[in-house]
Structure 1
Amino acid sequence: MAFQRDTSFVPIPPPGEDELPYDDGEPMESERHRKQMDLLIEALDLLWKERDDVYVGGNMAVYFSELQAKKNDFRGPDVFVVLDTVRRERKSWVVWQEDGRTPDVVIELLSESTEKVDRIDKMRIYAKLLRVPEYYLFDPFTGVLEAYALDLATMAYAPVAPGAGGDVASPRLHLGLGVRRGTYHGLEADWLRWLDPEGRVVPTGEEQARAADERARAAQHEATLLAARLAEYEQRFGKLPGGG
């Protein structure tokens, strides 16, 4: 009699990012919310364009348990950063496909419809289940920034006092966060910005292009002044040796 293997107890692997919904089903609250999310992600992507060990995501699903995936009852972070990972395209962040890696930093953009969830439900999940070390809340319309650090003893968030100028440090990213007035994609507002260790704003692509243009114009101006001085000198004293 031939032996037949009993496969009835072979475990079914949990679903991955290709099987799970990757849109959390919640659009950004307003144009300013959407642009604020894009600004934070864009600036970090440009700052770390040479790195392949970090992932920056936003408004995408984060799955941390099979039960939660089945119920699909958790809206993803507005902005999150994961260190010590692989930089690649993802449909969603599935913890059991990422060697257990969870976000190191989460930023939620407050609105009237989401503030209660961000302050209660999400704060509990980020602290007790995902154990996110740094949690930030920012209201794009009031410009109020709040910072929280995870207390490992209580698995709860403790407020972090801002600096003298209202900026806060992100120890995990070796960066800062602060509110700065500016224009992003045609909208002038008080934006939440990443700050480098010297306190300078981490630029967006538009700002990098504008700075490059300003440097080019300054260089052209200097060249024009130098040429004018040279012409004046030669008119008064004759051409310089070797000047042709």
Structure 2
Amino acid sequence: MSNSTTGEIQSTPVSAVDWEPPVPPTNLIFDDGEPLESNRHRIAMNALIRSMLVAMANRRDYFVGGNMFIYYSSQQIRNRDFRGPDFFVVLNVDGESEREGWVVWEENGRYPDVIIELMSPSTAAIDIGVKKDIYEQTFRTPDYYVFNPFEPESLQGWRLDWERGYQELNPNPQGWLWCQRLGLWLGTWEGTIEDKPGIWLRFYDQQGNLVLLPEEAAFREGALQQLLRLLAVRFGQVPVEVETRLRTQDIHQLEGLVEVVLEVESLEEFINQLS
């Protein structure tokens, strides 16, 4: 069944798997010594991880990881098949525990709710082949996406249907894909991260607002407070409803409104300009 707003496919919620190996191993390896494909891949991964700190600011019951091993079976351990997803989120778990990796049998059988693989020419076949099959059939991860940081049009995603497996998601008019488990859109954004301009994979909220990185959120808050102080100096106390509306503006809009405050003659005129 499709949702009329987002177009995602409804599926039966994933339940915890009650499983552990007969004798859980203790000599697990958590570092394979292999770097990400490129510096752009590293920046893209860290941006996704750090944006979760803002998107989940009011929650402590989640874990987000990247380029981190996920141990899920004794056969996997014997085969030394350790490489984990580039980005993953597990919801409704203890978010305060320190973890070197994600060990399923130590996490009450919990697998990731969302996985994103940052592809390259050398990994694309695996990411949409073997790995996709594992995430679909073994992990039963509800939302899976792939994206090549060097190819802006490469974003693909799948939503798990409990009976039919992964069903490919259709993009919205902006080319974004809905992530049901996070309640967020996933799409591209053009800008600069870590002094590197490019087109990056970012999260957006349900209203289409960019989920900021922590440093972006801090910078935006500074611009907002500067604007509120300027309004107070010119027109006295700023009504709560005006501040609420200003909090919906992005950083560029806030910077532009500084000039508006200096030009208008009254708070009412500013509010009309804001509309």
Q: TM-score, normalised by structure 2?
A: 0.73
Shift of 1:152: 2.1
Distance 2:32 2:109 in 1: 21
User: Which of the residues 77, 84, 104 maps onto 2:85?
Assistant: 77
Show CA shifts across 1:139-194 (max 9, x none). Answer: 1111121111123224x322111111101111111111111111111111111111
Would you say 1:170 and 2:208 are equivalent positions? no
Aligned AA (1:146): Q
Partner of 1:232: none
User: Which of the residues 156, 165, 168 maps onto 1:159?
Assistant: 168
Aligned AA (1:41): I
Partner of 2:120: 111
User: Which of the residues 180, 198, 223 maps onto 1:189?
Assistant: 198
Aligned AA (1:150): L
Partner of 1:36: 44
Aligned AA (1:38): N
Decide whether the 8 Å contact of 2:90 with 2:113 is kept in 1: yes
Partner of 2:98: 89
- Helix, strand or coil at the partner of 2:129: helix
Shift of 1:24: 4.2
Shift of 1:58: 0.5
Which region of structure 1 is more displaced relative to structure 2, 207-216 or 166-175?
Answer: 207-216
Would you say 1:57 and 2:65 are equivalent positions? yes
Partner of 1:149: 159
Partner of 2:221: 212
Decide whether the 8 Å contact of 2:53 with 2:214 is kept in 1: no
Runs of 5+ unmatched residues, structure 2: 1-20, 237-261, 263-275
- Helix, strand or coil at the partner of 1:166: coil
Decide whether the 8 Å contact of 1:24 with 1:60 is kept in 2: no
Q: How many residues align?
A: 215
Percent identity between matched residues is 41
Distance 1:204 1:46 in 2: 7
Q: TM-score, normalised by structure 1?
A: 0.82
- Helix, strand or coil at the partner of 2:226: helix
Partner of 1:6: none
Shift of 1:220: 4.1
